Amino acid sequence: MTREMPPNEIRLPANATKPAFTANAITVLEKRYLVKDEKGNVMETPQDMLWRVAKTVAAGDLIYDTNCPIADLAGDFYEMLASFDFLPNSPTLMNAGRELGQLSACFVLPVEDSMDSIFEAVKQTALIHKSGGGTGFSFSRIRPKNDLVHSTKGVSSGPLSFMSVFDCATETIKQGGTRRGANMAILRVDHPDIMDFIKVKSDLQTLNNFNLSVAITDDFMEAVRVDGEYNLINPRDGEIVKKQSANKIFRQIVKQAWLSGEPGIVFIDRINAKNPTPNAGMIESTNPCGEQPLLPHESCNLGSINLSNMIENDAVNYQKLGQIVEKAVHFLDNIIDINRYPIAAIDRVTKQNRKIGLGVMGFADMLTQLATPYSSPEAQKIAEEVMSFIDQKAMDASIKLGEQRGAFPNFPESIYGRQNASIPVRNATRTTIAPTGTLSILAGCSSGVEPIFAISFVRRIMDNTEMYEVNPIFARIARENGFYSPDLLKKIAKSGSIQGYDEIPLKYRQVFETAHDITPQSHISIQAAFQKYTNNAVSKTINFGHNATVEDVKKAYLLAYDLNCKGLTIYRDGCRANQVLSTENTGSPEQGAKGQYAPVKRDRPRSLVGKTYQMTTGCGQMYVTINEDNNQHQFELFNFVGKAGGCAASQCEAIGRLVSMAWRSGLSPEPIIKQLIGISCHKPAGFGDNKVLSCADAIAQAIRQHMEGQNGLKNDSLASETMAFGACPECGGAIEYEGGCCVCHSCGYSECA
């Protein structure tokens, strides 16, 4: 093959494998991946798509040898894709061989402490999302809220306010009509605004286009261990703002994760200890799912090997696995060269380190074929053996490419170059365990290194399309062993699990464990086993049942740190209304159809512990009592106003009853504060920070004081939402403070008149 025959003229061989996509996979392909005309009509077949990708990526070899036979290589790549032995990340499947040509999934952008840097990052984010990528940011360099801004003599609004700008920009962009923007926001645990960051998603309508993670340092974890303090540091000047109890912050991280699944945590010091190019910069952030740590303006392209296809005669076929690893590394390295990067700086930095992220999917399916329970020590051993093999073969393939094409440009200053400069490594990193939600649908296998979510379940994708799926390996084994029946599958669909069904032999109940049959400790052990031989990080969700406690989550975080994981994401079932995967009744009898959590009011124990707060209102002294349960969750609220009677007293009692019912049904305090704070009446009391606008406002302020007492930090994040001086007693309009007096511009009322 020569340059006289360009890639577009290479034809798919007549005997090429025809991909056996399922009906669900075809639905996803038609909505998201296949080329369409201007009217939205599909213009290519799934086979055409795979050939388009294979020949485009193979053409990358022409950069190094204009006479190389890329037709053969394109055929090899195609067979690897069509057999579902390997699939690249979604942007590659969507854009290879098309006008856009942007093939990377993950990017990290720098955000410095200046308006120029912040809004340049917003612009670059828009370009990346338009091209189909996701972005990660560290907002740790932005000075804290209310810090001095020398250029204007004003005060900073802090990192959270700028995160909202990025969120709004993302909301307006649909990535090529196929993929919505995704962001990761990371804030260091020693940033002064860390408490606000941890709690920002108490309102689940906030920052919907962001995943949040706290960058945890080793010093912080050591302080947690000894119940000590650590320093909060102003990034503007490096000065220590205050010392903070590590356990108060850690407890809030854990509690918020229990409530909503966020924030996650990344062990940033551990990540930088494995940074292959420390002289090129420190790693501050990751891609949106947390598995790919990257330098500022660095990108990475990912791909996953289907482990369920690597089993032959009840054993791992390591010869086949090794061959797929070598082809996949070649494939991913070519993408770096043919990629059309949306920003010149990303082109430059990416090619300096040439990071790739080869991972796996179908691990749970591999275990079922090996008759090995996911939660067993044998499964952990298999995980280590398989990933160790992939990691070594990926390094071998990278060295082979380095000998042919040269090492990555930063190689001499990397940890590899310092160790042995005579062995040229092509790629600074080679392995990453990424989530494969959509890819696993296409390949018809389990996702990433996750356990089987459910034997049968509803899968929601994109525009709330629902897909009903049954695990194909279980269905095959059930038929072969005579216990398959539609009625059985219908019963299983209620919970997704097969535990407790005596008509299914015990050995199969043990092998076909689902995500909620497995303890968090076993989840983390598998993550740690893969992390041991993964250059970058492992994307894995640690599933908790709905009844898991805050203490359960805390133990998981500590275990992840002890087992040398690089981060952790937990999800307690039912803590969010919409789940990507759900059974008809997932995890808890308290949930309704389609996996949505139906709040159930908890019964009151005989005794509770609480605090009473005295608040001065225009109606007199108010006493607000807040009681908590044994897990330090707000349970009920009572209030009594000394001088109030009639309507005022009844309204205050009504507010107390509604707040109590909300808390007993699982609602967090923050939305209640947000709804009540700032409600004003004609008779406010107090001045400045002590001003109380109404009885409702007093209740909100008492709840906020209570939360601040728990967290050990003052929270002024909701103060800006209040009306400053209450309502006009004559017309109900807004009152403003002018010339030392309260006035109403609506009707002309003046308190001083």
* Catalytic residue (choose from 89, 211, 262, 289): 289
Report how far residue 80's alpha carbon sits from residue 75's, in angstroms, rounded to the nearest whole number: 9
C-alpha distances (whole Å) from 480 to each of 262, 477, 492, 728 are 43, 5, 18, 78
Is 326 among the catalytic positions? no
CB 102 within 8 A of CB 341: yes
Prior bond of 605 cis (ω within 30°) = no
User: 558 CB contacts (<8 Å, ≥6 apart)?
Assistant: 224
Q: At what angle do helices 218-225 and 246-260 cross, to 10 degrees?
A: 100
Report how far residue 703's alpha carbon sits from residue 611's, in angstroms, rounded to the nearest whole number: 10
DSSP letter (8 states) at residue 561: H
Cα 203 to chain center, whole Å? 17
Is 95 among the catalytic positions? no
Which tokens sit at 115? 């308006």
CB 684 within 8 A of CB 693: yes
Q: How many CB atoms lie within 10 A of CB 392?
A: 15
Report how far residue 51's alpha carbon sits from residue 82's, in angstroms, rounded to the nearest whole number: 9
Q: How many CB atoms lie within 10 A of CB 635?
A: 20
Report how far residue 538's alpha carbon sits from residue 260's, in angstroms, rounded to the nearest whole number: 21
CB 523 within 8 A of CB 557: no
H or E segment and range at residue 106: strand 106-108
User: 448 CB contacts (<8 Å, ≥6 apart)?
Assistant: 304, 359, 360, 361, 363, 433, 434, 435, 436, 440, 539, 540
* Catalytic residue (choose from 291, 450, 584, 670): 291
* Catalytic residue (choose from 287, 306, 334, 339): 287
H or E segment and range at residue 695: helix 695-711
SS3 431: strand
CB 565 within 8 A of CB 263: no
DSSP letters along 32-90, please?
HTS-B-TTS-B-S-HHHHHHHHHHHHHGGGGGT-TT--HHHHHHHHHHHHHTTSEEE-H
User: 410 CB contacts (<8 Å, ≥6 apart)?
Assistant: 277, 279, 280, 352, 353, 428
Q: How many CB atoms lie within 10 A of CB 282?
A: 12
SS3 226: coil
C-alpha distances (whole Å) from 502 to each of 11, 81, 471, 498, 592 are 54, 40, 19, 9, 26
Residue with tokens 């509604």: 658
Is 275 among the catalytic positions? no
Which tokens sit at 326? 């070598």
Report how far residue 303's alpha carbon sits from residue 332's, in angstroms, rounded to the nearest whole number: 7
CB 190 within 8 A of CB 232: yes
End-to-end CA gap in the chain? 93
Of 537, 360, 350, 552, nearest in space to 448 by CA? 360
* Active-site residue set: 287, 289, 291
